[in-house]
Amino acid sequence: MGAPHHEDSRNGAALPTRRTVTVNDKMQKRYRYERTAPIGRGFDPEFKPQLTPQEMLKLGVFAGKYMTDCRTEFPASWFTHAKLSPKGRDRALNFFGVDASQPLSVWRKKGWIHPDDPRGWFQWYCRYYMGRRIPDEDHRQIKRWKAIRRHVRQVERNCEPGELTCRKRQRQALLHWAYDSRKI
């Protein structure tokens, strides 16, 4: 479902043709945005996620209840092996089998939700990955993503390398933020 590309005569890199996306799902009606960057590329140099949205969905994140009503916005390939639960949250679908999420109501109360992304950080990341750019919001979300790195250090300090049963909740939370905690 990628956007058409043309060649940049300066360096031969594929550039996206702008594409407008209209979203109609349970949380947004007639929300429109433009994809202006190449899919999966053109990231801020400070933002280096270790997992793509597709990899995260395949591993098992958010108890399977995150992307069940918005598949048409993203490539079908993201959902081929995704661990999703249309009926309700199922922590067994998470890679580490534990719940590591706070309710959306907590995120709203803390002011972490931007109106363009009412589902939160992962929705922002999916749209950013697909090429949407909102400079101020991108900066805010990348700053939040970098702050999660403290949990990587805690796992590194308290667990033997590769000991996946150590700090499972923290490891699952790191997966939710595109850090590959299986490799710590």
- Statement: the pTM of the whole predicted model exceeds 0.85: yes
Polymer length in residues for the chain: 184
- The closest alpha carbon to 67, from 165, 56, 10, belongs to 56
Instruction: Using pLDDT thresholds of 50, 70 and 90, give the confidence band for residue 79.
Output: very high
pLDDT at 17 over 70: no
Instruction: Using pLDDT thresholds of 50, 70 and 90, give the confidence band for residue 6.
Output: very low
pLDDT at 9 over 60: no
| pLDDT tens digits, 87-127 | 889 999 999 999 998 888 888 898 889 999 999 999 999 99
- 53-75 average pLDDT score: 92
Better-predicted residue by pLDDT, 80 or 10? 80
* Beta bridge partners of residue 23, listed in sequence order: 31
